[in-house]
Structure 1
Amino acid sequence: MSLETILSIKNLNKNYGRIQAVKDLSFDIQKGNIYGILGPNGSGKSTTLGIILNVVNKTSGSFSWFNGNTSTHQALKKVGAIIERPNFYPFMTATQNLELICRIKGVSYDKIDEKLQAVNLFERKNDKFKTYSLGMKQRLAIASALLNDPEILILDEPTNGLDPQGIHEIRQIIKSIAKNGTTILLASHLLDEVEKVCSHVIVLRKGEKLYSGRVETMVASNGIIEVKTEDDIESVVNVLKNYHETASVNIDGDLIIIQLENDISAATLNKYLFEKNIAVSHLVKRKPTLEQQFLDLTNNN
């Protein structure tokens, strides 16, 4: 079964005078996944979202929605997006604000309660918007973007400025929306967010794509091994640097961190150290975090 491509971006460029905000960017969004566009501020994430939503003009390149069978204008009726801070009327209730949006979008009111339930605001639907916390305001914005039952929901920095509880709630809501079959594309500068929420990641730096693929593939490369020893750390580091499977060795407090060239077991390294008469008190193999991979990508290019 061929996967349905919701969005395809080809060689997209955007220049602001002499600044190139997006450089030759290409990627596809397939139905049913949660994609994270990850990059530091100024990496071109918001510009890219602006282009595909027709609010920013591209300089060159192309993008097409829904296998290219739909004009952008028609396609955007099947898209829900929050790329600005939401504008709701402070003295109107959640329900009244959503009724207004239904009228603008030409959608019937009968979706309102269902969408408020989806973002855990049903109990507060008759409260004025001005009484809402920042997290609740953001959840109402998500409800408003869901009113037209979009096939894809696009979110720009959905947890920006929220407290830990608010962040957790938004992330849970995003996952539950995706479980119901809505494809999600979110931009974030938070590695933790992408690692916890997304199935796929597109890493941008200065408008260029450094990586795109499944999150677990990026995280899984060949792993790292942590070693603690009672022996002299410097001499152990030298022994490890000479080991043929070592990509790099770093010291972190009393831990020695070995990044591996190839996927070897902890036992294999333990045997090598034993043969070199090095006694270890701790030896554990770990997957590198997305953070480590991201730092490696953004530093090395």
Structure 2
Amino acid sequence: MESILTINNLTKKFGYLTAVKDLSFTINKGNVYGILGPNGSGKSTTLGIVLNVVNKTEGNFHWFDGNTTTHDALKKVGAIIENPNFYPYMTAFQNLKLVCKIKGIDYSKIDEKLAIVGLLERKESKFRTYSLGMKQRLAIASALLNDPEILILDEPTNGLDPQGIHQIREIIKQIAAKGTTILLASHLLDEVEKVCSHVVVLRKGVKLYSGRVDEMISSHGFFELKCNKQDELIQVLENTKTFGKIKVQDNLVTAFLNEPMKSEDFNKFLFEKGIILTHLVQRKESLEEQFLQLTDNKQN
């Protein structure tokens, strides 16, 4: 698979603070990657390093085949890592003409990119009349002007209303469907689950998981259980290899499966052990539950 970006043992320290620690992952062509983590997890710092706006402390990274300088590679990258920065008194079209002039891009690209983000009919409107969502969509159009091989977005839906969030996510999906690789940083689990094919989970600058989103949430799920013999139930679960982690909160027992099991088979199994359930619900783990498990397991 063709590599777009390879990061090896990347570390960034700000004085005593380690923002990114020994981070390694590879982005391959044609996928949508999410860097997921709470605020302060090192997402923006990582993007800043690969875009040459933040100096790394240790480790290395290379774009494409590794034979291209970062300066030349960034000509094939589109990025939005700060708030959209356009002239408020100029129209959308005039602002993008200016971007084209700076980057040496033909003006003919402007209408095409405005159409992708749904702003073609508002191209003659001044930037100051745009809503926050429209401003963000114009920024995406600007980042697409050079037909980048990879589009990098830092918290692309931050501060937007539900309609604006939906519009941005749909645009990201459309761009990805045309073959552009996308890397986005987000603290929103929902965003990564709906938009991304791959995810890198960060906490305090440390990678907790890297891989496909569907593999991260392809566990066998869990049972939520209640019964009048809770201690006996827990003992049976702990002595059965079908189950892994067992959580107890008040009178609710959550048993995570190591292998597939139907609820009716489980109910029969417990009944034969003399345990009658008063509550039985089988669930699949969401990305949120996986994320919480990952971060719980890595608490300092």
Do they superpose with TM above 0.5? yes
Counterpart in the other structure of 1:292 = 289
**1:267 paired to 2:264:** yes
Cα gap change, 1:123 to 1:69, in 2 (>3 Å): same
**Match in the other structure for 2:42:** 44
In structure 2, what is the equivalent of residue 257 of structure 1? 254
Instruction: Name the CA distance, whole Å, in 1 between partners of 2:229 and 2:195.
Output: 38
1:238 aligns with 2:234: yes
- Name the SS for the 1:109 alignment partner: coil
Structure 1, gaps ≥5 residues long: none
Report how far residue 226 of structure 1 moved. 3.3
Query: Partners of 1:20 and 1:238 in 2: how far apart?
Result: 41
Letter of the structure 2 residue corresponding to residue 164 of structure 1: P
Deviation at 1:20, TM superposition (A): 1.1
3-state SS of paired residue (2:244): strand
**1:81 equivalenced with 2:74 (yes/no):** no
String of CA shifts for 1:59-113, please: whole Å, max 9, x gaps. 1111111111211001000000000101111111111111111111110111111
Q: Match for residue 155 of structure 1?
A: 153
State the Cα deviation string for residues 228-268 of structure 1 (Å, max 9, x = none). Answer: x6x53746753664451232344679864321233333333
Partner Cα separation in structure 2 for residue 256 and residue 273 of structure 1: 14
Residue type matched to 1:179 in 2?
A: A
Deviations 1:169-193 (A, max 9, x none): 1111101100000000000111111
Q: Does 1:191 align with 2:175?
A: no
- Give the Cα–Cα distance (whole angstroms) in 2 for the partners of residues 111 and 240 of structure 1: 65
Out of 12, 15, 28, the position equivalent to 2:13 is 15
Letter in 1 for 2:32: I
Partners of 1:193 and 1:252 lie apart in 2 by 29
SS of equivalent residue, structure 1 residue 160: coil
Paired with 1:86 and 1:184, the residues of 2 have a C-alpha distance of: 18
Q: Name the CA distance, whole Å, in 2 between partners of 1:257 and 1:156.
A: 36
Matches within 5 A, 1:66-105: 66-105=64-103
Identity of aligned pairs, percent? 66
> Does structure 1 retain, via aligned residues, the 8 Å contact 2:228–2:278?
no
* 3-state SS of 2:108 partner: helix
CA distance in 1, matches of 2:217, 2:176: 22
Q: 1:36 to 1:273 in 2, by over 3 A?
A: same
Q: In terms of mean alpha carbon deviation, does 238-247 or 87-96 score higher?
A: 238-247
Over 3 Å counting, the alpha-carbon distance change for 1:125 and 1:281 in structure 2 is farther
Cα distance in 1 for residues equivalent to 2:229 and 2:37 = 35
Aligned equivalents of 1:284, 1:271: Cα separation in 2: 14
Cα distance in 1 for residues equivalent to 2:238 and 2:259: 15
Distance in 1, matches of 2:190 and 2:249, equals 21
* Offset, 1:271: 1.9
**Cα–Cα, structure 1 residues 298 and 89, in superposed 2: closer, same or farther, change >3 Å?**
same
- Relative to structure 1, the CA distance from residue 284 to residue 234 in structure 2 (aligned partners, 3 Å threshold; closer, same or farther) is closer
Q: Which residue of 1 is the match for residue 22 of structure 2? A: 24
RMSD of aligned C-alpha atoms? 2.0
Q: Note the C-alpha offset of 1:116.
A: 0.7
Q: Secondary structure at the match of 1:108?
A: coil
Query: Is the CA contact (8 Å cut-off) linking 2:233 and 2:275 kept in structure 1?
Result: no
- The answer to whether the 8 A contact 1:119-1:143 is kept is yes
Residue 123 of structure 1 deviates from its aligned partner by 1.6
Per-residue Cα deviation, 1:36-65 (whole angstroms, up to 9, x for no partner): 001111111111100000001111111111
Q: Report the TM-score when normalising by structure 1.
A: 0.92
Distance 1:263 1:100, change over 3 A: same
Hey, what's the Cα distance between the residues in 1 that align with 2:284 and 2:249? Answer: 16
Aligned to 1:211: 209
Q: Write the distance in 2 (CA, Å) between the matches of 1:221 and 1:168.
A: 28
Separation in 1 of the partners of 2:270 and 2:235? Answer: 8
Output the CA distance in 1 between the equivalents of 2:151 and 2:182: 5
Alpha-carbon contact 1:240-1:249 (below 8 Å) kept? no
Label 1:281 to 1:123 Cα distance change in 2 as closer, same or farther (>3 A).
farther
